[in-house]
């Protein structure tokens, strides 16, 4: 294949990817498969695949960063299959992710509204195995086959072929029962011809063992993550100890006197309605504060941008920030990147009304984007997402403008760990860091005794982000939005890469 003939979006995201048209693409296994099913159903509403999206068409709609279930299907099992090619593939211990699925199948199924589920026309009048009126697992998500079963089956078929033995059947009875049930579907049998399998190397008599895996559903939050009801990270004594640990480092958190780019003029009266928050269906009670947030974010981007630059609005949602930047900087290309189809569809409607031609749409997880860009920006990207944005920018040496949010949601994931900077890693233990991040979310009204402490903790977490970027040669600015009352999460991080030589970086000192 001639790489020069591959559309740009297909080269800027991890496979699989669907290039919908010249301005829109979808990346990620679950998102791509959901799109294929929806396209088929749109052409043929009675097609048998219509049920694969599950109740309310929500199967695997959440991204892998937020959903353990999606991560299991889209990341964990795939990596397990890839692991088969290593030298340890024939060890006597069964793959932990096969065992995790076995544990999952032993748990009660998850139903948000049992009555609506059972009475749904999509599922009505089919055989349902139940106990005490509650449906049991026949398939991965309950009594009906879904897209999750298809993904898991492909991986399980490869794994079970490689690890098949009498012991395996005894150790994974529920998985084997589900596996045999899947074989009853003739359509699935027809598709098996497409699978290339690792042959079982006469290991049918091997006595496999089970790895230590928690007995829990794959819908539950990761057990390593704290349980909010326990409040174990917000005890005042623990917060004070963590604060004292930071203070011993003698690291000063410095705020610029005003935000980077504050001197630029910004006239909302010249902005067309569909590029304003109200044009994006934001209620009038919130539009003024949203305008203030957007103005604070736009100015540094306008100051940093050059003609021809590619600007990525990470976690763009309905495109409030990205659409405004695209209108203000017609000489630049703006990519709206978000994993929510509904949000991007709203953005597309606004872009169509504005007749903007310098916007591209990427329905994708943040980490699947592998393209080049010049400036990254994110407004209130939740928790880990802000650090993933900064990591993406560091990857291509791009400048960035970020307003973090949801500090209490920070947790290690398969992409990054905390603390972020070398200085913090060497001096602050993980638990103390997470305590500070949770305390950073206690930014209430001015009268609340926790508020000043919350802002101090916010500054500490953002200082860690600053130190990380500085390790890669960035010039950093930390400031507060003007006015700082437009949002409780009002910190703005501006990182200027070494390649950015035409900008007056002295402003704000």
Q: What is the pLDDT of residue 116?
A: 54
Q: What is the pLDDT of residue 162?
A: 87
Cα–Cα–Cα angle for 417, 420, 423, rounded to 5 degrees: 135
Domain count of the fold of the chain: 2
- Name the nearest CA neighbour of 32 among 114, 142, 128, 147: 147
Q: Does residue 186 sit in the same domain as residue 283?
A: no
Q: Does residue 271 sit in the same domain as residue 205?
A: no
Q: What is the pLDDT of residue 5?
A: 77
CA torsion angle for 273, 274, 278, 280 (degrees, to 10)?
180
Q: Does residue 368 sit in the same domain as residue 409?
A: yes
> When comparing pLDDT for 39 and 502, which is higher?
39
Residue 17 domain-assigned (yes or no): no
End position of a domain, from candidates 203, 226, 249: 226
Residue 39 domain-assigned (yes or no): no
Q: Does residue 434 sit in the same domain as residue 310?
A: yes
- Name the nearest CA neighbour of 505 among 473, 481, 483, 482: 473
**Across 175-192, average pLDDT:** 94
Q: Does residue 216 sit in the same domain as residue 81?
A: yes
pLDDT of 498 > 80? The answer is yes
Residue 415 domain-assigned (yes or no): yes
pTM value surpassing 0.85: yes
pLDDT of 451 > 80? The answer is yes
Q: Does residue 311 sit in the same domain as residue 405?
A: yes
Q: Does residue 84 sit in the same domain as residue 212?
A: yes
**Across 313-333, average pLDDT:** 98
What span, in angstroms and rounded, lies between the C-alpha atoms of 403 and 237?
29
Q: Does residue 121 sit in the same domain as residue 61?
A: yes
Per-residue pLDDT band for 505 (boundaries 50, 70, 90) equals very low
Q: Does residue 344 sit in the same domain as residue 434?
A: yes
Q: Does residue 406 sit in the same domain as residue 298?
A: yes
End position of a domain, from candidates 226, 256, 278: 226
**Side-chain-side CA neighbours of residue 271 (13 Å):** 25
Distance of CA 218 to the CA centre of its chain: 17
pLDDT tens digit sequence for 345-357: 999 999 999 999 9
Residue 446 domain-assigned (yes or no): yes
pLDDT tens digit sequence for 485-497: 999 999 999 999 9
Q: Does residue 186 sit in the same domain as residue 272?
A: no
Residue 350 domain-assigned (yes or no): yes
Three-state DSSP at 21 gives strand
Q: What is the pLDDT of residue 203?
A: 53
Residue 20 domain-assigned (yes or no): no
Q: What is the pLDDT of residue 125?
A: 44
**Across 71-94, average pLDDT:** 81
Per-residue pLDDT band for 503 (boundaries 50, 70, 90) equals very low
Q: Considering the chain, what percentage of its residues have pLDDT values greater than 70? A: 87
End position of a domain, from candidates 162, 193, 226: 226
Q: What is the pLDDT of residue 219?
A: 82
Q: What is the pLDDT of residue 133?
A: 57
Residue 443 domain-assigned (yes or no): yes
Residue 18 domain-assigned (yes or no): no
Q: What is the CATH number of the domain that holds 341?
A: 3.40.50.150
Q: What is the pLDDT of residue 446?
A: 77
Q: What is the pLDDT of residue 231?
A: 52
Q: Does residue 284 sit in the same domain as residue 364?
A: yes
What span, in angstroms and rounded, lies between the C-alpha atoms of 468 and 471?
5
Boundaries of domain holding 116 = 54-226
């Amino acid at each position: 294949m001639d790489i020069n003939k591959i559309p740009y979006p297909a080269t800027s995201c991890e496979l699989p990817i669907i290039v919908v048209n010249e301005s829109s693409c979808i990346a990620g296994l679950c998102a791509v498969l959901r799109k294929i099913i929806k396209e088929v159903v749109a052409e043929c509403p009675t097609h048998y695949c219509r049920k694969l999206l599950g109740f309310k068409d929500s199967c695997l709609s959440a991204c892998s960063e937020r959903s353990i279930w999606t991560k299991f299907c889209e990341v964990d099992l795939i990596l397990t299959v890839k692991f088969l090619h290593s030298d340890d593939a024939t060890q006597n211990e069964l793959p932990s992710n096969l065992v995790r699925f076995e544990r999952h199948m032993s748990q009660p199924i998850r139903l948000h509204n049992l009555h609506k589920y059972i009475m749904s026309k999509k599922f009505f009048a089919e055989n349902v195995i139940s106990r005490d009126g509650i449906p049991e697992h026949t398939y991965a998500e309950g009594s009906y086959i879904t897209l999750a079963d298809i993904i898991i089956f492909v991986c399980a078929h490869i794994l079970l072929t490689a690890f098949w033995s009498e012991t395996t059947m005894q150790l994974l009875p529920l998985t084997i029962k589900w596996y045999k049930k899947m074989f009853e579907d003739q359509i699935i049998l027809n598709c098996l011809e497409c699978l290339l399998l690792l042959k079982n190397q006469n290991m049918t008599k091997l006595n496999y063992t089970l790895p230590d895996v928690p007995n829990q559903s794959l819908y539950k939050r990761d057990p390593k993550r704290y349980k909010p009801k326990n409040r174990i990270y917000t005890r005042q004594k623990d917060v004070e100890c963590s604060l004292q640990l930071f203070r011993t480092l003698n690291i000063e958190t410095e705020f610029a006197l005003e935000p980077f780019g504050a001197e630029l003029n910004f006239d909302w009266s010249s902005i067309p309605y569909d590029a304003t928050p109200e044009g994006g269906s934001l209620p009038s009670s919130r539009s003024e504060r949203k305008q203030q947030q957007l103005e604070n974010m736009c100015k540094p981007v306008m100051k940093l941008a050059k003609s021809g630059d590619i600007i990525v609005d990470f976690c763009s949602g309905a495109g409030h920030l990205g659409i405004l930047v695209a209108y203000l900087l017609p000489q630049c290309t703006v990519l709206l990147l978000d994993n929510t189809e509904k949000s991007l569809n709203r953005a597309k409607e606004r872009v169509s009304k504005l007749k903007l031609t310098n916007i591209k749409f990427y329905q994708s997880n943040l980490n699947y984007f592998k393209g080049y860009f010049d400036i990254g920006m994110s407004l209130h990207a939740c928790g880990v997402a802000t650090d993933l944005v900064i990591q993406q920018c560091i990857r291509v040496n791009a400048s960035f403008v970020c307003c973090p949010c949801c500090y209490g949601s920070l947790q290690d994931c398969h992409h990054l760990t905390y603390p972020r900077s070398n200085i913090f890693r060497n001096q602050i233990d993980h638990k103390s860091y997470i305590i500070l991040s949770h305390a950073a979310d206690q930014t209430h009204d001015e009268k609340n005794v926790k508020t000043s402490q919350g802002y101090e903790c916010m500054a500490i977490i953002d200082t860690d982000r600053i130190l990380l970027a500085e390790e890669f040669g960035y010039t950093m600015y930390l400031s507060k939005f003007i006015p700082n009352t437009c949002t409780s999460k009002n910190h703005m991080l501006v990182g200027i890469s070494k390649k950015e030589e035409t900008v007056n970086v002295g402003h704000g000192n």
